[in-house]
Amino acid sequence: MRDLLKSSLFLNAGIGAASVILLILLIALSARVVYPRVFTERTELQSHLLSNVIQVEVLNGCGVQGVAAGFTNQLRELGFDVVQSGNFETFDLAESVVIDRNGNLKNARRVALALGIDPKNILSETSPYFYLDATVVIGADYEQLLRINH
């Protein structure tokens, strides 16, 4: 009889604890329904700030040593976030180009304008695998581009 009373006590304690947990979960769920975690103003503000930072890759397409580094420094001074620089696949590019990487031509135009690259030399090659806004490929016309001090 004593064992039956003891097991009944544990069973009642378990049911009581489960009831308290269930009550807490129901209160949390109803609070989430009444007060959803949607911060529209804050989210819009953050996306606006993120769109102001243009991430760029600078590639040397003319073969002149140090040209990508010079343009990297210039773009950083102008407020662009240069995330990578290096060499293009060839060194025979006659004119510099800006390649839009994420479908936002506005950002590619900003980069082209900052460097003095002709808008006709803005190309689009988007992919979900690109995590930057634009690629700048410096061509043989690098000396005619604006704001560059070599």
For domain 46-144, the CATH class is alpha beta
Report the distance separating Cα 30 and Cα 83, nearest Å: 45
Q: Give the bridge partners for 100, in sequence order.
A: 124, 134
Closest CA to 50 of 127, 102, 121: 102
Average pLDDT rounded to a whole number, residues 28-36: 73
Please write the tens of the pLDDT for every residue from 64-109: 999 999 999 999 999 999 999 999 999 999 999 999 999 999 999 9
Polymer length in residues for the chain: 150
What residues have CB less than 8 Å from 141, skipping those under 6 apart? Answer: 94, 95, 96
Of 2-11, 25-34, 50-59, 121-130, give the range with the top mean pLDDT. Answer: 121-130
Considering only residues 66 and 45, tell me which one the structure prediction assigns the higher pLDDT.
Answer: 66
